[in-house]
Amino acid sequence: MSFALKIILLIITMALIAGGGYFFLVAEKGGTSLQQKESIMVKVAKGTIVEELTFTGIVKPAQEVGLSFERTGIIRNLPIKVGGEVRVGNLISSLDNTDIIAQIARAEADIAFEEAQLQELKRGPRPEELSIAKVKVENAQSTRDESLNNVLSAMLDAHTKADDAIRNKLDQIIDSPRSSNPQIKSELIVTDSSLKQKVGASRVIAEGKLAEWNQLITTLTTNDTLSLKNGAAEAKQFLLVFRSILKDAALLLDGTTPSISVSQTTIDGYRAAVSAGRANVEAAYGNIVAAEEKWQNADAAIALAKEEQRLVEVGASAEEIAAQEARVKKAQAALKGARVDLNKTFLVSPIAGVLTKLNVKIGETVTVGQIAANIISDKNFEVKVDIPEANIAKVAIGNEAVLTLDAYGPRVKFSGKLVRVNPAEKIIESVATYESTIEFKEQDPRIKSGMTANIAFNIRKDGILVIPQNAITRKQGAPYVVVSENGAKQERRIRTGSIGINGFIEVVDGLKEGETILQPSG
């Protein structure tokens, strides 16, 4: 390698290091002399980029507030006039608050009540409370005894109704009903012979169930609750059998036609009898179910009454006392909330400055969020700037900025810092922008509200892949580089990021650290 080429490579390497890009440069093997070389090879590495972002903004008072009430109400007081000087905490306006004052009084009364309840729990049960708890248990037991009698009565009544439905009403259409071979009356003309045979055979089953049920009832007593419970369950099963038989009988009669031997009036009488039997069986079933539910409720009532008696006897538990203490705290919280609401009826100044506008009058109703007054500070200033969507991700809270004001020219510089970025976008000329606030590091009497400010951010990014900008070519607007690998050259599309002021550009995608690209030598 010639001495001149070494000097050129040394200068290029030093320039890359000074710009923040750490590259290893190797001369491309394109000829035998420096004049024959058209490009140099650049190894992709991580480095640093400093990107300058510039914007224009307007100087605003740093403390400019529009005051609004946090609740709806009627204006009752406006003690300061427009143009008047205000201090922090000065009352600007107030709402009618008589209803909230009443709430505070109620909340204080609730606290007194809950605290009294807490003291009573801690004191323990009184003799009259013990007596009341005992009476409740006795009443619950009496109700349960009554429910047991109701279950037994319901079963007895159900047996009577079932017996009547089968032996008095169904048997009107059956010959020899209690024999081993009962038959539907021969004079009845029935269209469904199989149903006719089924009803006749079911009469034998019904007779057996009635006899079985009759024997069961004789063994039942309210003293044996288990037998009574099982008896009620069996009674419902008996009734389901009878309901099915009577349903078939009703279907049979629906298909029966009058004849010389049997008139329509007679058939209608049979139908009415079977229908009445079915209704009685259904009612009996419902009565047993209702009686069982009352029994279950009575058992639950006894358990509850006994538990209440136990709790009265042992006094309040630690958990109950804790629960009552929580109620006291809840009442106290309600009082605190009412006082907070009371404070919301007062509009006070959070800053010292001048009252510039009053948007309400005494007697007027204001709503939540409605600006009632405006106050500005006449000392501190900041810059409001709309940063476009394309750049908003590049800046961050705390970034330092250099500012100049048109009134004083570019040589007079001020220091600032980005302190706020509004998360809500603002559309300006079809572009989404985000209002941001830059705070002057030092207040200067030359700064005035409304001045035009020019802002410059130098955004530093370390540890990123960077390449020289002149190594990139564009095709149809897309960036490409030439990658050299094992002597072969290939164009590759990449995706770029920030552009540095030092001639380098960030590579977001398309290249890896250590790869080699070609850069024009000129």
pLDDT of residue 206 exceeding 70, the answer is yes
Using an 8 Å Cβ cutoff, are 78 and 407 in contact? no
d(CA 383, CA 378): 15
Nearest to 407 by CA among 454, 456, 457: 454
Using an 8 Å Cβ cutoff, are 427 and 388 in contact? no
pLDDT of residue 162: 93
d(CA 509, CA 483): 14
pLDDT of residue 311 exceeding 60, the answer is yes
**DSSP type of residue 479:** E
Give the pLDDT band of residue 519 (cuts 50, 70, 90): confident
pLDDT of residue 379: 67
Least confident of 37-51, 90-104, 336-350: 37-51
Token pair of 252 as six digits:
């049979």
d(CA 34, CA 12): 15
Please name the residue that has the structure tokens 């409304």. 450
d(CA 296, CA 302): 10
**Which residues, 6 or more positions from 475, have their beta carbon under 8 angstroms from its beta carbon?**
none
Q: What is the pLDDT of residues 429-442, one digit of tens each?
A: 899 999 999 998 88
pLDDT of residue 36 exceeding 70, the answer is no
pLDDT of residue 476 exceeding 50, the answer is yes
Amino acid at 482: V
d(CA 74, CA 372): 12
**Which residues, 6 or more positions from 165, have their beta carbon under 8 angstroms from its beta carbon?**
242, 246, 276, 277, 278, 280, 281
pLDDT of residue 5: 36
Nearest to 514 by CA among 42, 28, 34, 32: 42
Mean pLDDT, residues 286-297: 92
**Which residues, 6 or more positions from 127, have their beta carbon under 8 angstroms from its beta carbon?**
none
d(CA 416, CA 70): 34
Neighbouring C-beta atoms of residue 433, cutoff 10 Å? 20
d(CA 512, CA 440): 41
B/e letters for 322-360, b = 16+ CB within 10 Å, e = fewer, are eebeebbeebbebbeebeebeebbebebebbbebeebeb
Using an 8 Å Cβ cutoff, are 149 and 222 in contact? yes
Q: Three-state DSSP class for 165?
A: helix
Strand partners, 518: 41
Q: What is the pLDDT of residues 115-154, one digit of tens each?
A: 998 888 887 777 887 888 888 888 989 998 899 899 999 9
CA–centroid distance for 87 within its chain: 42
Q: What is the pLDDT of residues 256-279, one digit of tens each?
A: 989 888 999 999 999 999 999 999
Nearest to 154 by CA among 206, 227, 228, 219: 228
d(CA 314, CA 430): 75
Give the chain's mean pLDDT.
Answer: 86
Q: What is the pLDDT of residues 409-428, one digit of tens each?
A: 999 999 999 999 999 998 99
pLDDT of residue 378: 67
pTM: 0.40
